[in-house]
Amino acid sequence: MGFVYLSKSGSKYHLENCSTLKDTKIKTKLTDAITAGKSPCSVCNPPLLKEIEKSKIYSQQNIYRVNMESLKSYANADITRMLPAKVIRHIDGDTVELQFENPPSIIKKTEKIRMIGVDTPETLHPKKEVQYFGKEASDFTKKRLLNKDVFIALDWDTRDKYDRLLAYIYMNDGSCHNAELIKNGFAAAYTHFPFQFLDEFRLLEKQAKAGNRGLWGGNRQESKKQG
């Protein structure tokens, strides 16, 4: 079994000679680093754990992953097996901050969540203007999620490069917020990375477009003409 190196407080694991590792190098088993929620450094490219080993750790940790369940539809997910959480901060249409009561070790007590498979119009980019329907998408998420108790399901990848947790957010009534965003035209399907419900989310987007919902609505054409 391979060994990797950790700094005292960082969220990454490294090779021994990594340039980003300074004074402290804590030698750790690769499996222990993964169990502790560390992700591979993008500078030194340390070894990755085999999927099968990872899935063992995840199943010990009791994290509900839609890919491991081989779910065919987001609507078949089982919220009783998901991690409960509370939405403590709204950031934008597809990003919120959650608090977990008693999370397994790979999840922190508070986490920024990037919702899997959706892309809402930009509202916060420092150099870009607020995009068409960005405010509406952001408000939709705020209204539905802020201060609510929700349930979290994961998929293939646990985190993005900004260390945000990649998740589906389910409500008490069993609805999936990621899917609701696309259905109602508040988001496009984000298909640059594979995820379990990719085909289904694409179809939802197609239907939202056909129905001229939200950001696919008539105003969009007009603002294009004017611009």
The stretch near Zn ion (CB under 5 A) out of 6-14, 133-141, 145-153, 177-185 is: 6-14
The H or E element spanning position 32 is: helix 30-35
Nearer to Zn ion, 43 or 146 (CB): 43
Q: What CA–CA distances, in Å, run from 33 to 27, 53, 105, 141, 154?
A: 10, 12, 10, 34, 19
Among residues 2, 22, 36, 43, the one that binds Zn ion under rule CB under 5 A:
43
The stretch near Zn ion (CB under 5 A) out of 8-16, 82-90, 102-110, 198-206 is: 8-16
Among residues 18, 30, 187, 204, the one that binds Zn ion under rule CB under 5 A:
18
Nearer to Zn ion, 23 or 129 (CB): 23
Nearest CA to 88 out of 180, 168, 170, 150 is that of: 150
- Which residue type occupies 201? F
* Shortest Cβ 33–Zn ion spacing (Å): 12
Residue 44 lies near Zn ion (rule: CB under 5 A) = yes
The residue ranges of DSSP E strands in 7-139, in sequence order, are: 12-14, 26-29, 39-40, 83-92, 95-99, 110-115, 118-119
Dihedrals phi, psi of 208, to nearest 5 degrees: -65, -40
Residue 14 lies near Zn ion (rule: CB under 5 A) = yes
The stretch near Zn ion (CB under 5 A) out of 13-21, 135-143, 157-165, 214-222 is: 13-21
Nearest CA to 66 out of 158, 188, 141, 145 is that of: 158
Residue 30 CB-density burial (10 A; 0-12 exposed, 13-18 middle, 19+ buried): buried
Rounded to an integer, what distance in angstroms lies between the CA atom of residue 113 and that of residue 27? Answer: 29
Nearer to Zn ion, 41 or 116 (CB): 41
Nearer to Zn ion, 14 or 159 (CB): 14
* Shortest Cβ 44–Zn ion spacing (Å): 3
Residues 127 to 186 in contact with Zn ion, rule: CB under 5 A: none
Nearer to Zn ion, 49 or 182 (CB): 49
* Shortest Cβ 106–Zn ion spacing (Å): 19
The size of the interface with Zn ion (CB under 5 A), counted in residues, is: 6
Active-site residues, by number, are 114, 122, 164
Residue 41 lies near Zn ion (rule: CB under 5 A) = yes
Residue 56 C-alpha from the chain's centroid: 21
Chain residues binding Zn ion by CB under 5 A are 14, 18, 20, 41, 43-44
